[in-house]
């Protein structure tokens, strides 16, 4: 059994990558596993989204307690259990093997360092661990596109798209966060000597088949990779609900940020964001 772990910031294509990979034979996307198992995350999730009819619905279109995968793990949900992470991940691996066999590839888009450490701890502690390998995908979005996504997320009016109306300091704050958070993730990977594959969101949208083949090479048979998100082969429970079940047929890449002069101007003066952006793009090589 292998795991593809997707590390990265929110709004950086983690759920998209999860959903695309889970369309391949022998691959099961699980969404944000660490969030599902975390008591704090699930309490916050329940308070904010628990009233929605699809809050506890899997991307397979079944509720958690009826889903072929998650129903076996309901007692370990953060809402139901304070058990140690090791016990939860051990049960998850056993469930996956029982349902799909030992050759299954699981995709976890938990995004966080702590979520990755849960898998690494499980593999290190368990003698004869079912999970033999964890492939790390570092998902990155262009700094300008990331700032635009965060502005859209936080804007009071859903129709307000003119970045000229956004306070300059707010845009700078998003750039600063993008630089600092991505630097933390990159430093962690380098310090821990973890091999990873970089996924740039804009490149993934431009040529999904090629990028997916690169990300999964050596783990998944890339000959049957199809860039399709309109399927229910995944079991993404905690993740972007709007993306995975509410409007997946309407998902398009929004590059309107490229046209906004104010965003481009602020970016041109943000030396660290420009440098990191250039570094990511210059190191992106599908031939590796």
Question: Would 47 be classed as within a structural domain?
Answer: yes
> What tens digit of pLDDT does each residue of 40-81 get?
999 999 999 899 888 999 988 899 999 999 999 999 999 999
User: Which CATH number characterizes residue 241's domain?
Assistant: 3.40.50
Q: What is the pLDDT of residue 162?
A: 54
Question: Would 50 be classed as within a structural domain?
Answer: yes
Question: Would 100 be classed as within a structural domain?
Answer: yes
Instruction: Supply the range of the domain harboring residue 276.
Output: 2-283
Average pLDDT, whole number, for the chain? 87
User: Per the structure, how many domains does the chain have?
Assistant: 1
User: Above 50 in pLDDT, residue 107?
Assistant: yes
> What tens digit of pLDDT does each residue of 127-166 get?
667 888 899 999 999 999 999 888 877 764 444 445 555 5
Q: What is the pLDDT of residue 257?
A: 86
HEC profile of the chain: CEEEEEEECCCCCHHHHHHHHCCCCCEEEEECHHHHHCHHHHHHHHHHHCCCCCCCECCCCCECCCCCCHHHHHHHCCCCCCCCHHHHHHHHHHHHHHHHCCCCEEEEEEECHHHHHHHHHHHHHCCCCCCCEEEEEEEECCHHHHHHHHHHHHCCCCCCCCHHHCCHHHHHHHHHHHHHHHHHHHHHHHHCCCCEEEEEHHHHHHCHHHHHHHHHCCCCCHHHCCCCCCCCCCCCCCCCHHHHHHCHHHCCCCCHHHHCHHHHHHHHCCHHHHHHHHHHHHHCCCCC
d(CA 286, CA 185) in angstroms, rounded, equals: 21
**Can you tell me the mean pLDDT for 243-262?**
68
Q: What is the pLDDT of residue 252?
A: 67
User: Above 80 in pLDDT, residue 254?
Assistant: no
**Can you tell me the mean pLDDT for 265-281?**
95
Question: Would 255 be classed as within a structural domain?
Answer: yes
User: Above 60 in pLDDT, residue 246?
Assistant: no
**Between 167 and 227, whose confidence is greater?**
167
Question: Would 288 be classed as within a structural domain?
Answer: no
d(CA 55, CA 31) in angstroms, rounded, equals: 14
> What tens digit of pLDDT does each residue of 205-223 get?
888 888 998 999 889 876 7
Question: Would 271 be classed as within a structural domain?
Answer: yes
């Amino acid at each position: 059994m292998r795991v593809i772990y997707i590390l990265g910031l929110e709004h950086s294509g983690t759920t998209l990558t999860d959903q695309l990979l889970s369309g391949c034979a022998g691959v099961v996307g699980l969404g944000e596993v660490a969030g599902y198992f975390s008591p704090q995350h699930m309490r916050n999730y329940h308070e904010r989204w628990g009233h929605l009819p699809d809050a506890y619905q899997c991307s397979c279109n079944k509720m958690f307690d009826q889903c072929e995968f998650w129903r076996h793990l309901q007692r370990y949900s953060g809402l139901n259990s304070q058990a140690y992470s090791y016990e939860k991940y051990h049960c998850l691996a056993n469930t996956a093997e029982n349902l799909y066999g030992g050759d299954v590839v699981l995709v976890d888009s938990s995004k966080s360092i702590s979520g990755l450490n849960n898998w690494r701890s499980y593999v290190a502690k368990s003698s004869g661990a079912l999970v033999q390998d964890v492939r790390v995908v570092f998902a990155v979005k262009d700094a300008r596109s990331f700032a635009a996504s965060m502005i859209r997320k936080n804007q009071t009016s859903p129709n307000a798209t003119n970045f000229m109306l956004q306070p300059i300091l707010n845009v700078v704050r998003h750039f600063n966060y993008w630089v600092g958070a991505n630097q933390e993730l990159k430093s962690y990977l380098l310090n821990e000597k973890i091999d990873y594959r970089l996924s740039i969101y804009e490149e993934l949208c431009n040529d999904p088949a090629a990028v997916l083949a690169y990300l999964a090479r050596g783990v998944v048979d890339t000959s049957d990779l199809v860039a399709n998100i309109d399927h229910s082969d995944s079991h993404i429970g905690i993740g972007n609900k709007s993306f995975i079940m509410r409007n997946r047929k309407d998902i398009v890449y929004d590059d309107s940020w490229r046209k906004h002069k104010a965003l481009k101007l602020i970016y041109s003066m943000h030396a660290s964001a420009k440098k990191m952006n250039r570094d990511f793009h210059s190191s992106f090589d599908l031939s590796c």
